[in-house]
Structure 1
Amino acid sequence: MSALRADEPWELPVSDARERLSEVVAAAEAGTVVHLTRHGRRVAAVVPEPMAETADSEVRALSARFAAKHRSLLDRLAE
């Protein structure tokens, strides 16, 4: 992984990430997104903690707005 630039996302197979977990975590701590692939297709990402927190907050806010907008429908589905 060291041949890749730190300011660009990294990509590697899950099997390699398993063997190089400490490098993957260090890259994320340094602000780099590490995409994990299986059979050449991205399946997951290890991201810096602030990025994960932001994503979690945005998902919660979107869910709350959806629920408020569609409350009557959700109530009918719950019956």
Structure 2
Amino acid sequence: MLIRHRPDLTENDVTDRGLYLRRREFIAGAAGLGLAGLGGAAAAAPLAFTKGFSTQEKPTPKDDVTSYNNFYEFGVDKSDPA
């Protein structure tokens, strides 16, 4: 049987206490820096949508859309619940 020995180093030896106590300041600063970059995106002009697309095809019947299933989580046939 392999018996592991505890390391001589503890958590307190690895991280300075002052740094440990200021960890939330660091996280808040990093989050603020990330959110600061979103200001320009909010001020940007909205996207323009092209209205030139159309089709002459008939819409798919509702029964086909709501019953056809390509996934088999809820049954073993394509007509099982979608």
Same fold (TM over 0.5): no
TM-score normalised by length of structure 1 = 0.34
Q: Specify the structure having the higher radius of gyration (Cα).
A: 2
Name whichever structure is richer in helix by fraction: 1
TM-score normalised by length of structure 2 = 0.33
